[in-house]
Every structure is written in structure tokens, then in C-alpha cells.
Structure 1
Amino acid sequence: MSRLFRRQTTGGVKDSAGYTAFRVLNVVALVAICFVTLYPFLNVLAVAFSSQGYINAGQVSIWPRGFNLTTFQMVMSDPLFWRNYGNTVVYTTVATAIAMVLTTTFAYALSKKRLKGRAFFVGLAVFTMFFSGGLIPNYVLVNSLGFRNTIWAIVIPNAISIFNLLVMKSFFENFPEDLEEAASIDGLTTYGILWKIVLPLSKAVIATMVLFYAVTFWNSWFSAVLYMSKPELYPVTVYLRNLLMAASAPAGSDEGLQIAANVKAVTMLLTTLPILCLYPFLQKYFVSGVMLGSVKA
């Protein structure tokens, strides 16, 4: 195969003209894909720091025009914004921790073929991916449990993602049984094996699931709107959503559209910034974690 792309010379191996052309086209294609991928984010970043006049005139692309921090100052000077931001941090941290404990233990149990009723529990979990109780029954249930206007209204109904559960289950199924058998002979219980043997060797899939859950809970707003009625309990996503709606002027007003465009950009930037800062630290686990649960050992 290499003969098609390289040719032998007196000075060593040299790329053929076809292989060189392939590399050039490959680089050009990758650069184009990167630009197309980054352009929406760069555009949002530019709009967030641009003045309303340039935004309305459609003159903002990937570079700010008429540098403007008014919207940032307006949002960040509001004490309620910081209160809701703190709520989001607490909700995301608590919800992710509970979700990881439940998902990990459930997935580990389902990965054991000797578990009695394993097929039933797997089928029950998969069934919930296609059928749910519906919005009104869920609201009635949460309200009857006394979860309204509490953190549990956000945490409990979304504690386990079936997709994440199945990924972790597949990963644990590929885990070497010899290690667990050796640990069992040494006297470790099932929970001891999980805590001291399995989890330390599962950092990749755990980091991936933490990222999945954290992003989901951080961006969640519908549950808060549905189950909470006190503004001081809202997450920041609801605060910024309400800000965007309030900034929109009546239909037909050009000024309203200008403000809404700027506020929308600031909203997206403030809500995605923490996740963007977190992702680089988990990136090395992210790709390997997803692949490990999908390939048989």
C-alpha cells in the first residue's frame, strides 16, 4: 500500500506527488471543517461584545464591532443572577453526584450474568427509554411527594439516564473477571471489589459519565420552570431565559430585536463558559470512555 504513495530515492523515502496532494487536500478539508464548527461560537462571542447598532445592521461576523459591555454589566450587577448561578452550581453538583452513585451501582449489578432477574431489570430500564408517564402524571407525582420548590424536583426525576446506564453496563461487562475473582479470594466483599478494584480502573468511563450528567443538569431549565415558582430558587438558565424574554420588545419593534440579539449572545456565552472550561480537563477520558463501553474485550 505504501508503494502507491511513496517512492524510493537515493536520499531515502520521499512522498509521491499523489500522496502529497492527498495530504494537502486533507489539511484543507480539516481546516474548513474546523472553521465551520467554530464559526457559530465565534459569532456569538462577537455579538456579545458588539454594540446594538452594528448587530442590527448585520455587520458583526467573527469580530466585535463597537465594543460593548453594557449587557454584561446589566446581567452581572443583579444579585439575583449570582443567587441563581449559585443554585445552578449546587443543583449540578448534587444531582451529578447522586446520578453517578445510582448509575454506577445499578450498571455494575446489571453487568453480572449471575444476577437473578437480570433480563427483567435490563428490560425494565430499556422500556423507560421509549415510554414515560407523561408530563401531567410526573407533575402530580412530584407535587404529591412534596418536592415542589426544592432541589429534589430537579435531581430525583432525572437521577438515572438509561443511555449512560447502558454504556457503563457494557463497560463493566468487559471488565476482567480474574481481577474480581482474585479480590474475592482475598476476602473483599462485592462493594469492596467495586470500590477498591473496579472504580479505580474505570476512570475513563466515570469521567465521561460525569461530563454527560454535568452538562445535562447545568443546561436544564424546563424542570425548574415546571416545579419551581420562587425566582430565588431558579437556576441561572431560567434567569437568563426570563431576561431574554423580557428584553424582547413587542412584535414589529426593531429596537427589541437588537436588544434580544445581544442578550441572547450573552446568555449563551455565560451558560456555556463553565462547561467549556471543564471539558479540556476531561477530554482525554471522554473519547476513550465512550469507546471502551462499545468494544468487546
Structure 2
Amino acid sequence: MTAVVKNRISQGSTAVDVILYALALAICIITLYPFYLVIILSVSSPMEVAAMNVFWYPKGFFLGSYELIVQDAKMWWAYSNTLIYVIVGMLLNCLMAVLGAYPLTVRKLKGRKWVIAFLLIPMYFGGGLIPSYLLVNKLGLYNTMLAIIIPGAVSIWNIILVRTYFTTIPEAIRESASVDGASHWQLLFRIIVPISKPILAVIAIYTVVGIWNSWFDALVYLPNEKLHPLQMYLYRVVVQQTVDLKTVVTMEDAKNAAYSMLTNIQLKYAIIVFTTLPVIFTYPFFQKYFIKGALIGSLKE
């Protein structure tokens, strides 16, 4: 009897498996449905969208909102700005995280624990928007691309993640490299960085998503619209796409104004899809490193 019970426990229960699979499926549906709803709303008829009659499938196939976005030259200019911010910001974040984390793993470094404790303070406490604005202005970064790139180049959280990952690398590797005459720079960039791809992938994807979705810094530091990122441009489009009732004179104007209002309602859904899909498509390139890096980098020393 005891052997039978142990065998059942090791094999598991079919009823429990069914419940777990059903629960996982329900969670997936709950998680994915909002994004699916936004997609079908972005390609449905503006009248159906305004009436909120779209729930499970598109009604009245319509791509006018996407045409409005794609045909705008200013949008592509903002898109190129965003690519610059994302690429440069990601590279700087990874570089600064590596350079900041490596010294904190050197056991012979005096005051190492005090430096780590000091880094934790600004991670939880900041000066706020006004001191940041004054600093950016005094440094001459205001209304330049560097106002978006430089302030976000260093992330203390990323430094801590990379440091935690570096501490999992066997000490024997460092000692062997030192015996062979390798300097700290050679040890870092020829040995440690190549085997730290998982945690660097985590930082890269976090940075890409953060910069891609950022618009408030551009609102504060970039009055020049030619420097605005994609999110700021699309935010401007949504806010400024309003109908001036004073210009409505004839019945035809009223129809055009009503149609414009309906299109603007749908435009926000097309914008969400248009700005989200590029980030989603980048994830598969980091997936094989992302899960491992997220788990190892989050472990405490």
C-alpha cells in the first residue's frame, strides 16, 4: 500500500494537472486580452469603436489611423530620434553598469562596503524634478539630445544587479587570469563581460523598454520638437487632435468634424499598437539570456 501511495504522489494527480493548466490558461487570457482588444479596436470602424461595440473580433475593417501615422514625415523623424536615444542609452547603461559593478567585486578594494551602502541612498532618495532641471540647465544640456541620454546613463539598480552577477563568477577564474598577467581591464572585458551576457541582456531589455516608453523627460527638457522622441510626438498628436467648433460652418464641415472626432478616438489604439510592437519584437533576441540573467542577477550575495 505504501508503495502505491508513493507512486501516485510521484506521478501526480490528473485532476490537479487539469486545474493547473486551466488556471494557467485563464491567466494567459486575462493578461493577453487587453492587448488583443487594443489591436482589434485599432483596425475596426471608427463608429464601432466610438460606440464600444468591438469585443472579440474587428468590425468594419479600417486602417485609416495607421495610414495617418505612417504618412506623417514628422512621425518618422521622431522615430529616428527614438532609435538614437534607445541605442545610445542602452550602450551607455550597459557600459556604466559594468564599470560601476566590477570594482565593487574586488575584495582588496578598501571601503568597498561603504561605497555599496552609499550607492543605496540615491537609489531610494532623489532631489526631485526641480534640482534635476537646474542641473541639466547649468550643464548646458537643455534642449539637446544629451539631456535625455546623459541623466539616464547610470542606474544604481543596474550596477547592483551586475555586481550580484559578477559575484557568482568563480574566484578561480580571476586568480588564473591574474597569474597569467592579465590586468583588470583585460580581466573585465576579455573574460568577465563575455560570460555575463545573461545579465547584460536583462539590463539591455529593461533600458530599451524604459527609454522607448519615455516621454516626460522630453516634455521637460526638449522644447525643440525636432528632438522629440516617438512617444512624445504621439502624445502631442493625441492631445492636439481636437476639433475647433468655431470652424464648423456648413453641414459638410460638421460631418468632417464628427468623422475627425471618431477617427481621433480610434487613433489612440493604433498609436498603442504602433509603439508597442517594436519592443515586443526585440524580446525574442534576448529571451535565451533574459530568464537566466533575471534569476541570477536578483540573488543576494
Q: TM-score when scaled to structure 1?
A: 0.90
The runs of at least 4 aligned residues of structure 1 exceeding 4 Å deviation read 1-7, 248-251, 253-257
What residue is the counterpart of 2:31 in the other structure? 37
1:229 to 211, 223, 229: 223
1:174–1:296 CA contact under 8 A, matched in 2: no
2:285 to 281, 287, 294: 281
1:45–1:62 CA contact under 8 A, matched in 2: no
User: Which of 1 and 2 has higher RCO (CA within 8 Å, sep 6+)?
Assistant: 2
**Correspondence 1:106 to 2:100:** yes
Letter in 2 for 1:127: I
What residue is the counterpart of 1:206 in the other structure? 200
Of 185-194 and 151-160, the range deviating more from structure 2: 151-160
Take 1:238 and 1:155, find their aligned partners in 2: how far apart are those partners? 15
What residue is the counterpart of 1:263 in the other structure? 267
CA RMSD, 1 decimal: 2.4
Letter in 2 for 1:287: I
Quote how far apart the aligned CAs of 1:257 are: 6.6
1:71–1:262 CA contact under 8 A, matched in 2: yes
Deviations 1:76-106 (A, max 9, x none): 1111000000000011101111111111110
What residue is the counterpart of 1:47 in the other structure? 41
Quote how far apart the aligned CAs of 1:119 are: 2.3
Take 2:154 and 2:97, find their aligned partners in 1: how far apart are those partners? 6
Of 181-190 and 127-136, the range deviating more from structure 2: 127-136
What residue is the counterpart of 2:20 in the other structure? 26
Quote how far apart the aligned CAs of 1:4 are: 4.4
What residue is the counterpart of 2:184 in the other structure? 190
1:51–1:65 CA contact under 8 A, matched in 2: yes
Deviations 1:2-60 (A, max 9, x none): 954855xxxxx9x68xx111111111111111101100110010111111111122111
Deviations 1:169-225 (A, max 9, x none): 111112111001101111110010011110111111111111111111111111111
**Correspondence 1:70 to 2:74:** no
Q: Percent of aligned positions with the same letter in both sequences?
A: 35
1:170 to 146, 149, 164: 164
Take 2:227 and 2:189, find their aligned partners in 1: how far apart are those partners? 35
* Number of aligned residues: 289
**Correspondence 1:139 to 2:136:** no
Take 2:53 and 2:172, find their aligned partners in 1: how far apart are those partners? 64
Going from structure 1 to structure 2, the CA distance change for 1:176 and 1:220 (only over 3 Å counts) comes to same
Q: TM-score when scaled to structure 2?
A: 0.89
Ranges in structure 2 where 5+ consecutive residues have no aligned partner: 246-256
2:88 to 66, 71, 94: 94
Take 2:32 and 2:148, find their aligned partners in 1: how far apart are those partners? 32
